[in-house]
Structure 1
Amino acid sequence: MDYLIFVISLSALIWGADVLIAQSERIALRFNISEYVIGATLIALGTSLPEMAASIAASLDHKPELAVSNVIGSNILNITLVLASVFLLAKKVDPHRDFFAKDSSWALFPVLLFVVMAMEGEFTRFDGVLLLLLMGAYLLFLKNNGSEVLTLEDEEIEEIEHAPFRWPKVLLMLALGFVLVIVGAEFTVESASSIAKSLGVSEWIIGIVLVSMGTSMPELIVSIVAAVKGKADMAIGNIIGSNMANITMVLGSAALVNDLKVDLHHYLFDIATMVAATLMLVFITANRMYSKPAGISLLALLALFLHHIAGQLG
Structure 2
Amino acid sequence: MDILIFIVSMTALIFGADFIIQQSEKIALHYNISPFIIGATLVAVGTSLPEMAASISASLKGSPDIAVANVIGSTIFNISLVLGLVFLLAKKIVPNRDIFAKDSAWSLFPIFVFILMSIDGKLTFFDGVLFLFLMAGYLIFLISSNQVEEIDEELKKEPFGWGKSSIFLFLGFVLTIGGADFAIESASNIARSFGISEWLIGLFLVAFGTSLPELTVSIKAALNNQADLAIGNIIGSNVANFTMVLGLSAMVNPLNVNLSANLFDIVAALILSIMLVFITANKMYNKSAGIALLIVFALVVQNSFF
Same fold by TM-score greater than 0.5: yes
Give ranges in structure 2 of 5+ residues lacking alignment.
Answer: none
Match of 1:264 in 2: 259
Range 164-173 or range 127-136, more displaced: 164-173
Match of 1:240 in 2: 235
**Post-superposition shift, 1:107?**
0.8
- Check conservation: 2:30, 2:151, Cα contact below 8 A: no
**Post-superposition shift, 1:151?**
7.0
What is the 5 A alignment of 1:169-180? Answer: 169-180=164-175
**Post-superposition shift, 1:222?**
0.2
- Alignment partner of 1:292 is 2:281: no
- Check conservation: 1:28, 1:150, Cα contact below 8 A: no
Given candidates 182, 185, 191, the residue that maps to 2:186 is 191
- Alignment partner of 1:213 is 2:192: no
**Post-superposition shift, 1:163?**
3.7
Residue identity matched to 1:34: S
Match of 1:24 in 2: 24
Residue identity matched to 2:272: A
- Check conservation: 2:32, 2:151, Cα contact below 8 A: no
Range 32-41 or range 203-212, more displaced: 203-212
- Residues 94/135 of structure 1: CA separation in 2 closer, same or farther (3 Å cut): same
Match of 1:115 in 2: 115
Structure 2 CA distance for aligned equivalents of residues 293 and 167 of structure 1: 40
- Check conservation: 2:14, 2:216, Cα contact below 8 A: yes
Percent of pairs with identical residues:
58
What is the 5 A alignment of 1:1-314? Answer: 1-149=1-149, 158=154, 160-311=155-306
Structure 1 CA distance for aligned equivalents of residues 70 and 111 of structure 2: 14
**Post-superposition shift, 1:203?**
3.3
Structure 2 CA distance for aligned equivalents of residues 220 and 151 of structure 1: 28
- Check conservation: 1:33, 1:148, Cα contact below 8 A: yes
- Check conservation: 1:68, 1:262, Cα contact below 8 A: yes
TM-score by length of 2: 0.97
**Post-superposition shift, 1:161?**
3.8
* Number of residue pairs matched by the alignment: 306
Structure 1 CA distance for aligned equivalents of residues 206 and 137 of structure 2: 28
**Post-superposition shift, 1:162?**
4.8
Give per-residue Cα distances to partners, 1:87-127, cap 9 Å, x unaligned.
00000011111111111111101111111112110111111
Structure 1 CA distance for aligned equivalents of residues 50 and 198 of structure 2: 17
Residue identity matched to 1:2: D
Residue identity matched to 2:120: E
- Check conservation: 1:23, 1:170, Cα contact below 8 A: yes
Residue identity matched to 1:297: A
Residue identity matched to 2:275: M
**Post-superposition shift, 1:242?**
0.2
Runs of 4+ in 1 over 6 A off after TM superposition: none
Structure 2 CA distance for aligned equivalents of residues 84 and 116 of structure 1: 28
- Check conservation: 1:125, 1:259, Cα contact below 8 A: yes
